[in-house]
Amino acid sequence: MELEQGRFAGFPAGALATAIPNLFFAAVLPRISDPAELVVSLCFFFAHGRKKGQPRFLTYAELAADDTLATALASLGEGALRRGLDAAVERGTLLRLDVGPESAAGGREGQAQELYFLNTPAGHRAVAAIEAGEQGLGRLVSPPPAPHEPKPNIFELYEQNIGPLTPMVAEYLKDAEEQYPASWFQPAFQRAVAQNVRRWVYIAAILRQWKENGPDYEKAGRDSEGPGRKLSPFDRYRRLIRR
């Protein structure tokens, strides 16, 4: 999520969506009392929708390594992931299948693992096929946590791409830091460099435009500009520059 002064900045046009069955909101959500169960269930829908191949499931190790899920559960106390999964399985949102070292052939040192499926007809068929030995699981290798490389802040980006900071420019950058999500800065500087317009006024115009209309550096696989001649980034933003 993009935050602006502690407040969500809004969904950009063309943002991807996660499919959640309507029945979850009608039959499951009103009965959930533990926030851990709600967080786990919603994050499971998101992660499950991104999985490739069949059968589609998530392992406990994958869920435990999910940074989004870990951040969402951080304030809910120790053991929140286990508590949320147990509750979702007991309620019937998820199906759990424990596989032994033999079933998990190809996994890390043949370790037993927990597999989680959505409680759907496809999920039941997959569980039944695995239990009957009719469905292979492939390699159940727990993904290593992604390395966290700190992104440069707006001041570093300015010095790297435009030039030395002056007291006046530093004030402009401080104002921008308070107005816009931090994740916008690097794409905005990259766009300015790509257009060979290494001026803060141009970058500020890009940020203002994104605040009004949503960022356009990630089009989520669709053409948001419609048919006809496509304007270059410079054409789109130059009218906003105050010389």
CA distance 4 to 179: 6
Residues 58 and 126 in one domain: yes
pLDDT at 141: 45
pLDDT at 36: 96
**Six-digit token string for 230:** 């496509």
pLDDT at 139: 54
Residues 179 and 216 in one domain: yes
pLDDT at 236: 52
* Residue 53 CB partners (closer than 8 Å, separation 6+): 138
Q: Which domain holds residue 41?
A: 32-131
Task: Quote the strand ranges of 109-239, DSSP E.
Answer: 113-118
Residue 49 lies in a domain: yes
Residue 17 lies in a domain: no
Residues 43 and 121 in one domain: yes
Residues 125 and 185 in one domain: no
CA distance 25 to 20: 9
Residues 167 and 225 in one domain: yes
Residue 117 lies in a domain: yes
Number of domains in the chain: 2
Residues 44 and 124 in one domain: yes
The CATH number linked to 167 is 1.10.10
pLDDT in tens, the chain (243 residues): 444 445 777 777 766 788 899 999 999 999 999 999 999 999 999 999 888 778 889 999 999 998 889 999 999 988 999 999 999 999 999 999 998 765 544 444 456 789 999 999 999 999 999 888 877 675 554 444 445 556 678 888 998 899 888 888 889 999 998 888 888 999 999 999 988 889 999 999 999 998 888 887 655 333 333 333 444 554 555 554 444
Residues 160 and 218 in one domain: yes
Q: CA triplet 7, 13, 15: central angle to 5 degrees?
A: 80
**Six-digit token string for 68:** 């989004």
Residue 144 lies in a domain: no
This prediction has a pTM of 0.54
